[in-house]
Each structure stands twice: as structure tokens, then as C-alpha cells.
Amino acid sequence: MPDDVRTPHPRHRFDRWPERLAGRTVRSVDAHGKHLFIRFDGELTLHSHLRMTGSWGVYGEGARWRRAAHRAWLVIEAGGYRVVEFDGPVLELLRESRTRFDRRLSALGPDVIGERFDREDFLRRLRAQDQSRAVGDVLLDQRVLAGIGNVWKSESCFAAHVNPWRELARLGDDEAIAIADFAHERMTRSAELDGFSSRPRAVYKRAGLPCERCGTPIRSHGQGDDNRTTYWCPSCQL
Ligand SMILES: [Zn+2]
């Protein structure tokens, strides 16, 4: 049972989570992609999604935090340890039954990060989509692949020589696997190195600069319902 729960970030100042979570035992903690679910007694679940900026840290008594205290969104204290979420951006307290919750989890595609990446599940989910959807758009769909963000979407397509605007119908299984494998291997390594050290930057935020393979200027354009910016080389990504 946590000794203390605090939500220092101003956005959550009036949420009264500390009061609502006081005295409740943590039932389980599940990570799925960049989603983290902390289930408390009484069907309260804390859901966080780290997007590109967030991170979790676990600190012993008196240990120095990796990021500044004002960037902490959630601090849970238990047994002399502090579990801290830095830099949000998605943090919500859900009240839902276990079954509804499990359904939500199973709707998520295979976790791109971790030892056991399920390629077949990924392919099955990819082919269950509308095949006129663009590759770059579908890669951000958490129901197909959980945890891939906007940087890795662009970089993985570049690594696999696939144009992110190509229709799924024209994407071979081997190409889909090549994209997913790159994301899986590099993101897993990056997660082990705390998120930043091995992040490739061949195309992301390099619009107008020459492609490292062929020298053609990199292009960028918003893609999908959320209009997330996609970066690609128009010459060597077909
Ligand atoms: Zn190129």
C-alpha cells in the first residue's frame, strides 16, 4: 500500500487523487508499449502514457532524481521508495471494472518494446486494417502496434526504404516486418539506455536537409487524422 501519493503538477492540482487513492493497495502494475497501468483496490486504475517526453523513475531514500522536481507529475511513496512520473503528458485516474479494462488492453497491438515482440500478431492486425490506409498512419495506430511514436514511425520507414504514404495494400509482409523489426530492436535498445542515447535521426526533423543515402532533400508533411508530421526521402523510399 502506498504511504503517500502526490500530484505536484498544476494540471492535477484539483484532482484529489491523493485522497481518492489513500489507503488503497496496489493490485498490479502492467506496462504495455508506452502505456502503464497501476491498478489499485476498489477498481481504480492509474493510466499513464509517456508519449515522447515522459519517463518513470524509481528512487531510494535520499537518491537524486534524474529530472527536476518541478517536472514530476506523480509521486508515489511506498516502503522507502519513491516512484516518480516526469513530464506527463497522459495521466488519468480511471474507474472501471477489470473486464472492461482487460478488453481495453487486449485491443492494443503487440508491444514494440521488449524481448517478446509478436510479429505474427502485428501482421494479423495490420492486415485487418483498411488496406487503403497509408503505412505511416497505421504505424501510429495503437491497435496495430503499441508504443511506436512519431520519431520511430518516420525512422523505421526510412530504414526499411518504405515510403510512409504507400497504401497498405502495396506493402509486402517482408517490408512490414522490416519496419517493425527496426522499431522493435532500436526502441528496445533505446529503452535500456533511458530513451535517448540510440535514437536515430536520419529523417526526423530534417526536412529540406539532404538524405544520408541519396542526397535528395528530406520532405515532411502532416499525416493521418491527428496530422502527425511524417518525414521521408521522396527518392529512396518507394
Ligand atoms: Zn534518399
How many angstroms is it from 216 CA to the middle of ligand 1? 5
How many angstroms is it from 177 CA to the middle of ligand 1? 21
Which grid coordinates belong to 90? 497522459
How many angstroms is it from 133 CA to the middle of ligand 1? 23
Grid cell 488503497 — which residue?
24
Cα–Cα dist 82/147, whole Å: 25
Cα–Cα dist 27/100, whole Å: 16
How many angstroms is it from 210 CA to the middle of ligand 1? 8
Could you give the count of Cα atoms lying within 13 Å of 135 in the half-sphere of its Cβ? 32
How many angstroms is it from 181 CA to the middle of ligand 1? 20
Cα–Cα dist 150/144, whole Å: 15
Which grid coordinates belong to 85? 512520473
- 216 neighbors 236 (Cβ within 8 angstroms): yes
Please state whether the predicted TM-score (pTM) of the whole model is above 0.85.
no
Which grid coordinates belong to 169? 495494400
Residues comprising the chain, all counted: 238
Q: What tens-digit pLDDT sequence spans the chain (238 residues)? A: 777 888 887 777 777 888 888 888 888 887 776 778 888 888 888 888 776 677 788 888 888 888 888 888 888 888 888 888 887 667 778 776 655 666 666 788 888 887 788 999 999 999 999 999 999 999 999 899 988 889 999 999 999 999 999 999 999 999 999 999 999 998 888 777 655 556 678 999 999 999 999 999 999 999 988 889 999 999 999 9
How many angstroms is it from 158 CA to the middle of ligand 1? 8
